[in-house]
Structure 1
Amino acid sequence: MAMDERNLQRIARHLKDEVAQRRVYHNIQRGRNEVTVTIGRASRLFGFSESQLRDWEKMGLIKPIRPREGTDARQVTGQRQYSFTELDKLAIIRELLDEAHLTPGAIPPNIDEIWSALASPLNTSQQIFEEETDYTLPSDIPGDLATQTEHINKRVTIAYRESLPWRVYASRVLWLALLLIYEDIPGFYAGLILPAHDYRPDEPSLDPANLRTLGESLIGWLGQTRAFFTFLTPEPLFEYPSDYIVLPLCPPELRMQLPASLATRTLIVVQRDEIQHVRHNEKAVRTVLRLLEPLYEEQMHWHHYIGEGMQDIIAPGMDFTPKLTDAVLTGLTNMTIRLGGKNADGQTRWQDCCIFLPTNTNVPLQQRSLVVRAKSQHARHTIGVTSVSPERHVTSLSLRAYQSSHIIYRPELAREDILALHREIEGPIHSNIAVPIGGETGLPLGVMYVTSYERDAFSEEDQRILRMIGKICEELLHTYSIRQHISDTIADLLEDPGTVDPLFKDFASEHDFLQDLAEILHTIKGQVTHKQVWTIPTEMDGPVKEISFIAIDIDSMVQELIANSYGDQTLHHLHKAIGLRIHDLLPALFSNHLNCQLYHIYGGIYCLLLRGFTLERTKNNAERLRKALEGSIAVKQSDLPGAALTLPDISVHLGVTWYPYDKLAEFLAPHHMRSVTDVRSTLYHSLEFALKLGTDTGGNIIYAWDPITQTYTPHQSGEEQQKNR
């Protein structure tokens, strides 16, 4: 009797707790959505096995309905049906088993009556749930509401604001957690298993062949191609268990040193030969346990967010201009506050979290202002309005973190720091921290700013957690930016599907060059077939009997220097600037420039097709062009005024080929059996070969066809020839 009394006291203390009551109400609501359910559905709703439910029925703990046929009471047919009352009781039992750590035998059959006497009214707690749905991660919407919604707007709202933040956090944090504790080896499998229920940490439980005994589990799985999968399974099992080895995330030697955590039940799975790549160091394990803890705390929502029937495909996106709330980033700010934990008095250790993003990325880094684009529940900043600028807020932690790519942390604020803060917005904070989002391999994308009413509120372990949240934000922001670029240019492909890069839209392309060359060759082939005079029409000089080509490329050492000094984007703009200069030089350098067509081949390579130019004229014009392209050139880096950069010491190399029409006619003669496509390929590759000779020599040179030697030789200008005599 004394034991029963102690159990009742434990139950009463636990069920009086408001958080426990919320969890029970959630499970009650999930069950009531079903009206009455079968034993199979009831077991899936609350994570019990059917055998458990049958055992509890024998104990008298629950009393499902057994449908009967006819008037004979012995004619029991069909599955057990669970009414509202029994479903409510299962929700309470679930809470007591998981959170109060009671055994089924310690729970009295009248537990529903005890609950009714202790719990707050349903409408009061339900109102609390509804108030939280705009900002908490995860949501408290009943499990099957999304699938019952008929209106598109409502379904989209639920999916975007409720399902998406949780699913993004779950999938990303499982992936990042796995990377922290497993050295990623391409071509091999690895994964995390999060069992919904605890298990005995003995050897049989960790046997890959016995994993199904774990029951329902959340899985994070890294495939051979580095694709990552997040899914819920009734029981984890492998087709070939002997290929894998299963280890506890938290090994026994660390379990006693770490704080109690549901996440210690997590398992890591690797292929049997890859066990040496598992990192079981304390820093990694501590970080992963904290990141996974919220997933376990919300396991009652697993079925709603990621379970069977969740077929919505949601691609997160963000409009960076208006003052609209982004559900995923907002969810991550709330999760950040949650991961900070609570003090002994139940208050959150961290107060506010905001994500600052630059207002204009076209200006230099040191000139960019930052504006709040997402904030946690209680933060009083205004999205799209609260901002910091280099001109007015030189002491801003967020600006300093953004410009330096370092975490900026103030464990204790000086008196002048506190006075300088907007007290009416941030309150009496005593420590704050700003964490760059991205910045490891390039410029940061933004800053996560967190405040606390405590001193020394952000330990080194806390900073690891903030960096991990920052990595999730980084991926999202990259995704948002890419989606925006795609949508901005999608209409252009309707009018001009052949032009991808608008920077070179005014130049004819390699495709155009090959088409024009094919047209010339088809004309000659037709004349050969009909035994006509071999000529090709031109723009202004009438028919001509020869064509020549000049290929131009920037010297490789110049390109390498510019890319290393200024970046690939500046080099890309230099490629365009060279093309514009060639185009502008044509009227001055070529007397009949209308017979010259300029093409952009790729990178910094351009090609001129000349009709009616002799080999000597072509080589002389190539030399004049080489000299004209030497020296400095101004590169426009953006559309902002004064954004040009002058690049000195530009040099190029050129390749020259020339063909009289009788030679082309010979190529296309019937007895040679060569198609236009074959001849065109020969001409094109000969020009590429001449250009490559200039690259191999070192640049700033012209290689041209020499009819006497029947090979390509360096071209000497008239001045150079006289010097050599």
Structure 2
Amino acid sequence: MAMDERNLQRIARHLKDEAAQRRVHHNIQRGRNEVTVTIGRASRLFGFSESQLRDWEKMGLIKPIRPKEGTDARQITGQRQYSFAELDKLAIIRELLDEAHLTPGAIPANIDEIWSTLASPSYASESQVLEDDTEYLSTSSTMPGSQYDNINKRITIAYRELMAWRFYVSRVLWLSLLLIYEDVPGFYAGLVLPAHEHALDETARDPLQLQLVGESLVGWLGQTRSFFTFLTPVPTFEYPSDYIVQPLCPPDLRMRLPGSIANRTLIVVQRDEIQHVRRQEKAVRTVLRLLEPLYEDQHLWHHYIGEGMQDLASPAMDFTPKLTDALLTGLADMVIRLGGKMANGQDHWQDCCILLPGNMSLPLQQRSLVVRAKSRNARHTVGVTSVAPERHVTNLSIRAYQGSHIIYRPELAREDIMAIAREIEGPIQSNIAVPIGGESGQPLGVLYVTSYNREAFSEEDQRILRIIAKITEELLYTYRIRQQISDTLPDLLENPSIVDPLFKDFASENDFLHDLGDILTTIKEQGEHSQELTIPTEIDGPVKEISFIAIDIDSNVQESIANSYGDQTLHNLSMAIGLRIHDLLPALFSNHLNCKLYHIYGSIYCLLLRGFTLERTKSNAERLRKALEGSIAVKQSELPGGTLTLPDISVHLGVTWYPYDKLAEFLAPHHMRSVTDVRSTLYHSLDFALKLGTDTGGNIIHGWDPVTQTYTPHQPGEEQKK
């Protein structure tokens, strides 16, 4: 006991020191900025080994969370997760081991409580600030020099503000306007949310009176379909006579919807577009539900969207680690808020989770869904809780995701209640799963909501959830696009001209024009010095002619594949055709080293041949056409069975041929034509020959005929020189 007392006195003396408190606070900040920390990350943050952390857990010094895998509470196999409180404790332990030279056994389990009593106010724990939005907002705008004026806090504040208002408000105002206004390109329209009650009624459509409503939150749709959200002290117009102002609610509906929100909200449209306002009851009711949180948080309008400089935040998400996302979490919390409260003050809806597929490369029916965000009180674990189609065939989220329909259970049967993990979701009586996206393609995820009440999700509620799902859909598309952009950044450093990696192994149109330009430059220089017009090649030595074969998939084939399988499959077919041409060159061309293949664009390829007569070029083109006919295997994905065999493939080809003395004549000084001009003529002539194949239905070769001095169809039955 005496030893313990001495250790406590020693700890107290050390932690009272200002320098020690500053170091502990710094480590606490590092931990807090990680938001969610696994045992591996915690060990790296504070310089401990994972075995040390496990030993201290056994001693009771720290108490990390052990997430449950799946729905069986006994399967506690998830990686340890360290909360803010535990990270604080690790920061204090780090200080006492390094600076006070204590052993872990000498540190009491309640060291965090001792710290809170000894730390100066400036280094006090910030847990309450992070949980209490009101206190957080009041301190986030402090003058430089405060504890919130550092980069990490600035980031946290910007992210919270982005979710709390700027993101949600702008999307809700935009979608609400589109629900009640038939979007007409080239015209203006907007919603006006006055901060105070006003006397404008149904008959007062004069926009000059709009300024009487005073301070208002405005959502405005511009002529280019850009949407603007701003706070104005007095809403006015440069040309008031161009507009009409109407209350959002028609008089008969306002009689049945008592409340200031229904009375206050206004819609503004251009005078000639009043007929495009749709104020049906179901639309108006949905909009009012969506706008209700905006009015409730009216006291925050100036803080979040007032005048002055604002931080900019571009939201993005890492889909792989088990990290929470502020915007998705905020949307989940907003769902619970939009569900309203019961008479006893409890939330009508209990939990909300946003589930996203774990592996997008799998077919839709094989994808598991993982919880990526949850509402504040939900007990699922982000990045851990998942549902798999092979194990949870009756799960609502799986069915909604695969079926692209809302799946709703207004009253759970006994077997449904037994199937869910009560210790996670509690005694729920109804639940609903809403697909995120899916209107014009595959869904991106699922919005899953539970309630302790039966029949908790009315048709109006389902409209609200669909709107939130659309907002989430936009966010997820933004995340994915940002991820795609960032993933390809290293490639542009090495190969800035290659955009599509699918064709990175092919020479490009730029390469073709460059190589053709080199040939023409050499011919021009030799002509100017009266040299023999020859250019050495790989195997035949000097040659005196060049020819070109352009290849393209027939238009009817491309249209059929795009309609049946989609543009991506057609894109993959274009690459497969190029690979087949490349592989056929040694078999079809005896001196194939004098042939070079280029991918021009789309499904068009070009062969540049040196030392081939016109007859040999046409003969080889015919052999190539036949070799490309029929079926071809197209690689769709890296998964087993990810190859699709496409039948009835056919191509058309264009052939041009030039002796070097003819090219020298083109480049002669008296013709006043540059290398660039001649190169362009050769290139467009080849393009013209290829287009003739398209115009005549495809599966044909058009080549230059020296006799007729025009491009004619090649007759395969003619004797061909090889």
Distance (Å, rounded) in 2 between the aligned partners of 1:339 and 1:483? 29
User: For 2:267, what is the secondary structure of its paired residue?
Assistant: strand
CA change 1:502–1:676 in 2 (3 A) is same
Paired residues for 1:632-651 under 5 Å? 632-651=631-650
Distance in 2, Cα, partners of 1:268 & 1:526: 73
Match of 2:683 in 1: 684
Mapping for residues 564-579 of structure 1, pairs under 5 Å: 564-579=563-578
- After TM superposition, the structure 1 = structure 2 runs for residues 292-691 of structure 1, keeping only pairs within 5 Å, are 292-691=291-690
Q: Is the 8 A contact 2:572 2:634 kept in 1?
A: yes
Amino acid across the alignment from 2:218: I
Distance 1:164 1:439 in 2: 24
Percent identity over paired residues: 78
For residues 203 and 405 of structure 1, what CA distance do their matches in structure 2 show? 41
Deviation per residue, 1:245-299 (Å, 9 max, x gap)? 1111112122112353525411111111111111111111111010001001001
Give the letter aligned to residue 182 of structure 1: Y
Change (3 A) 1:189 1:139: farther
Query: Does 2:707 correspond to 1:708?
Result: yes
Offset of residue 555 of structure 1: 1.0
Please name the residue that 1:230 is paired with. Answer: 229
CA distance in 1, matches of 2:430, 2:645: 46
For 1:121-270, what aligned pairs fall within 5 Å after superposition?
131=128, 133-134=130-131, 141-142=137-138, 145=141, 148=144, 149-202=148-201, 206-270=205-269
Mapped to 1, the partners of 2:519 and 2:263 lie a distance apart of 74
- What displacement does 1:528 show? 2.1
Query: Is this contact kept in 1: 2:163–2:330, CA < 8 A?
Result: no
Note the C-alpha offset of 1:367: 0.2
Three-state SS of the structure 1 residue aligned to 2:638 is coil
SS class of match (2:225): coil
Q: Which residue type is aligned with residue 219 of structure 1?
A: V
Give the aligned partner of residue 63 of structure 1. none
Structure 2 CA distance for partners of 1:264 and 1:437, relative to 1, 3 Å:
farther
| Matched letter for residue 213 of structure 2 | L
Q: In 2 relative to 1, CA 344–262 (structure 1 residues): closer, same or farther, beyond 3 Å?
A: same
- The answer on whether the counterparts of 1:135 and 1:377 sit within 8 Å (CA) in structure 2 is no
Distance 1:623 1:480 in 2: 48
Q: Answer yes or no: is the 8 Å Cα contact 1:196–1:216 preserved in 2.
A: yes
Tell me how far apart the structure 2 counterparts of residues 342 and 670 of structure 1 sit (CA, whole Å): 88
User: Normalized against structure 2, the TM-score is what?
Assistant: 0.80
Letter in 2 for 1:597: K
Match of 1:145, as an amino acid?
S
SS of the equivalent of 1:656 reads strand
The whole-number CA distance in structure 1 between the counterparts of 2:320 and 2:213 is 48
Q: Distance in 2 between matches of 1:255 and 1:656?
A: 75
Alignment partner, residue 97 of structure 2: none
Q: Tell me the distance in 2 between the aligned counterparts of 1:172 and 1:164.
A: 11
Following superposition, the deviation at residue 234 of structure 1 comes to 1.3
2:138 partner letter: P
Distance 1:399 1:698, change over 3 A: same
Q: 1: distance between equivalents of 2:244 and 2:549?
A: 63
CA drift of 1:140 comes to: 5.8
Instruction: Give 1:206 shift.
Output: 4.5
SS in 1 for 2:543: coil
Q: Write the letter of the residue equivalent to 1:519.
A: D
Quote how far apart the aligned CAs of 1:239 are: 1.2
Q: Paired residue for 2:115? A: none
For structure 1, the 5+ residue unaligned runs are: 1-126
Partner SS, residue 256 of structure 1? helix
Q: Which amino acid aligns with 2:664?
A: A
**Does 360-369 or 534-543 show the bigger shift?**
534-543
Q: What letter corresponds to residue 479 of structure 1 in structure 2?
A: T
Give the C-alpha shift of residue 199 in structure 1: 0.4
Q: How many residues align?
A: 593
Which shows bigger deviation, 671-680 or 593-602? Answer: 671-680
Distance 1:639 1:275 in 2: 54
Shift of 1:143: 7.4
Shift of 1:657: 0.7
The code of the aligned residue for 1:272 comes to R
**Deviation at 1:204?**
8.7
Question: CA–CA distance in 1 between the matches of 2:420 and 2:128?
Answer: 30
CA distance in 2, matches of 1:485, 1:200: 51
Q: Give, in angstroms, the shift of residue 157 of structure 1.
A: 1.0
Shift of residue 162, structure 1, vs aligned partner: 4.0
8 Å contact 1:164–1:314 — kept in the other structure? no
Residue 581 (structure 1) shift: 0.6
In the TM superposition, residue 313 of structure 1 has moved relative to its aligned partner by 0.7
Q: Secondary structure at the match of 2:331?
A: helix
Q: 1:665 to 1:156 in 2, by over 3 A?
A: same
Opposite residue 281 of structure 1, the aligned amino acid is Q
Q: Quick one: which amino acid aligns to residue 141 of structure 1?
A: L
CA 1:598/1:570 → structure 2, altered by over 3 Å: closer, same or farther? same
Mark the runs of 5 or more structure 2 residues left unpaired by the alignment: 1-123
